[in-house]
Structure formats: C-alpha cells, structure tokens
Amino acid sequence: MTALRQWLQDPSPASRRQARLGQMWLAWLRIRRNRLAMAGLVIVGTLLVVAALAPWIAPHDPLAQDLTRRLLPPLTPGNLLGTDDFGRDILSRIIYGARITLYIIGLVAVTAPVLGLLIGTVAGYFGGWVDATLMRLTDIFLAFPRLILALALVAVLGPGIGNAILAIALTAWPPYARVARAETLTVRNSDYIAAIRLQGASPARIIAGHVVPMCLPSVIIRVTLDMAGVILIAAGLGFLGLGVQPPLPEWGLMISSGRKYLFEQWWVATMPGLAIFVVSLGFNLLGDGLRDVLDPRSAAR
C-alpha cells in the first residue's frame, strides 16, 4: 500500500502511465478533501447501489395495489414513507424509480455528449465554412429553450420514455459542441498535431485519436454538471405526463399523481420530489468538485 502510494507520488515518474495515474491520484486526494464533493459522490454512489439492488431493498412490489391501504401517512408500520392513492408503497416506488432515473440519464449521457463532441471537434478542426455552418446550427439549437423544444418534440413523437430521452438528448448536445470546439481550437495548431499530420494521418484519425481525448476532461465535467439538469427536465416531462407513462414509478410522474392530494396527504407529492432534489444535488455537488479539481482555469485562487 505504502509502496503503491510512493509509486504514485513519485515526482519523477518513469512512464507515461505512472505519470497519468499519479495525476489522477493527486486529483483524488484533492477531491477527497472537498467535503461537498464527497457528499455528492456518496449520493451518486447510493443512487447506483439502490438502483442495482432495488428488488432486494424494496419492501414491496412498486406496482402492487392495495386499495384497503390507500394514502397511509409516513411511518405507518410496513410503509415507511406512506402509500399513494392506489395503496402502493411510496418507498418501494422511489427505490424502483431510481432505476428509471438512472436509465434516462445513462442514455442521455452516452448520446448527447457524443453528438456534441463530434460536431464540436469537426467544426473546430476544419474551421472555415464547416465551422461557421455547424456553429450556426449549434446556436440555433441553443436559442431554443430546452424544455419547450423537448415538449414540442415529445408532442410530435408521442409521449413515452424512449421519446423523452430522445427529446432530451436532442436538446442537450449544443453545450458539448461549444466546449469541444473551444478545446479543439486550442490544440488544433499545436506542433504535435502538425507532426501527426505530417505522418499522413487522416483528419478522422487525428480527431478521434488526438483531439477528442484532449476534450474529454472538460466534457466529463460538463456531463456531471448536466446530469442534474437532465434529471430535472425528465422529471418535468414526467410531471406533465409526457415522459414515462403510468403505472411506472417515475419520480416526476409520482409528484403529478400526488398533486390532487397535496393539501390533505402532502407526503404523496413531497417524497418523490425529495428524491429528485437529493439526487440532482448529488450530481451538482460532484460536478462542482470535479471542476474545481480537474479544471485549473476555473479553480478558486
């Protein structure tokens, strides 16, 4: 253990891998000192564990209705967070809802940044009219309010989880394109790119092999920070009835079904909202900490 630590902290690393791992180790040390970021990491970790182990943790079947046990308040024996209007256990529904949330943000996280990276690096690398056209397109999409564009898209495609994800991904890519383009512009004219070009590498190879890796850190930070927003938009679509459809236990949908009972049975709408809030806060805290650690430009002086 100490030998490993020494190897990681070696001020004169023997290989590129050692240097890189050493950097990551230092970053980890720094983020570990950041208490808020660690709290975020714990929340995101918990979300992953809860989603993975949902069938074993959840006390009840999230879809099982029991009309004799409708709208029970929190702390009822057997229903820690109470039950909803169909007598379903709210805690179990929140636990299973973690899977849906994770599914949505997972799919958005692997589609939108890829699209954005592609457009941004191509625009930045080629410059000229390619750049002008692609960036104008990006601006147009950026000019669209995200939720409204997602609404319009869902209206066309029809409600449902798949279409909601598609709509969110289609509205989420422009910021990544901006970030990727900015990074590409800074490396495009560097000598090592020129060297690779002189070796006869094709633009596709240069972009995929040498430009994209340079953009990844900033894109990863953005993804983490963006996930909170994605959770909120997904929940908003669910709340409006345009995302995940009943009876699936999506958190936004659960809030909307609890709205009818807001003043008498407050917990039905409150509990799933807390879940959204905590998870989204977790991603924000983590992303914030990552940015402080990995992005020296925006680090506090």
Partner 1 sequence: MTGSPVSGNRAFVLAGRIGLGLGSLAITILGLLLITFLISRVVPIDPVLSIVGERATEAQIAAVRAKLGLDLPMWQQFLIYVRDALTGDLGTSIRTGEPVAAEIARYFPATLELATLGTIFGTLVGVPAGVLAATRPGSLADQVVRVIGLMGYSMPVFWLGLIGLLVFYGQLDWVSGPGRLDPTYDMMMQFTLTPYTGMILIDSALNGAWDVFGNAVSHIILPAGLLGYVSMAYISRMTRSFMMNELGQEYITTARVKGMPEWRVVWVHAMKNALVPLITVITLSYAYLLEGSVLTETIFAWPGLGSYITDALFAADMPAVLGGTVVVGAVFITLNMASDLLYRLVDPRARA
Closest CA to 289 of 25, 28, 108: 28
Closest CA to 261 of 67, 85, 90: 85
Residue 162 tokens read as 């798949």
* Separation in Å, CA 298 to CA 39, 70, 155, 281, 301: 21, 51, 39, 20, 9
Residue 256 tokens read as 């909307």
Residue 163 tokens read as 């279409």
Select from 57, 71, 80, 149 the one that contacts partner 1 (CB under 8 A): 149
Does the protein bind partner 1 through residue 270 (CB under 8 A)? yes
Residue whose CB is less far from partner 1, 36 or 63: 36
Select from 98, 151, 168, 293 the one that contacts partner 1 (CB under 8 A): 151
Select from 24, 52, 110, 155 the one that contacts partner 1 (CB under 8 A): 155
Per-residue x/- marks for partner 1, 156-175, CB under 8 A? x-x-----------------
Q: What is the DSSP letter of 60?
A: S
Burial of 181 (0-12, 13-18, 19+ CB in 10 A): buried
Select from 57, 114, 152, 208 the one that contacts partner 1 (CB under 8 A): 152
On whether the CB atoms of residues 233 and 150 are closer than 8 A, the answer is yes
Does the protein bind partner 1 through residue 178 (CB under 8 A)? no
Contact window for partner 1 (CB under 8 A) among 54-62, 70-78, 110-118, 278-286: 278-286
**Least distance to partner 1, CB of residue 281, Å:** 4
Select from 93, 99, 146, 188 the one that contacts partner 1 (CB under 8 A): 146
Q: Is the peptide bond before 247 cis (omega within 30 degrees of 0)?
A: yes
**Least distance to partner 1, CB of residue 239, Å:** 5
Select from 49, 140, 194, 195 the one that contacts partner 1 (CB under 8 A): 140
In 3-state terms the chain splits into helix, strand, coil percentages (rounded to 5) of 75, 0, 25
- Tokens 């590409």, residue located: 184
**Least distance to partner 1, CB of residue 241, Å:** 8
**Least distance to partner 1, CB of residue 140, Å:** 4
Residue 44 CB neighbours (<10 A): 19
In whole angstroms, what is the distance from residue 283 CA to residue 46 CA?
Answer: 12
Dihedral in degrees, nearest 10, Cα atoms 243, 68, 268, 47: -70
Contact window for partner 1 (CB under 8 A) among 20-28, 68-76, 97-105, 136-144: 136-144
* Separation in Å, CA 261 to CA 197, 256, 257: 65, 10, 8
Residue whose CB is less far from partner 1, 86 or 266: 266
Select from 86, 87, 144, 208 the one that contacts partner 1 (CB under 8 A): 144
Residue whose CB is less far from partner 1, 77 or 128: 128
Site for partner 1 in 30-59 (CB under 8 A): 36
List contacts with partner 1 (CB under 8 A).
36, 136-137, 139-140, 143-149, 151-153, 155-156, 158, 228, 232, 235-236, 239-242, 252, 255, 259, 262-263, 266, 269-270, 273, 276-277, 280-281, 283-285, 288, 298, 300-301
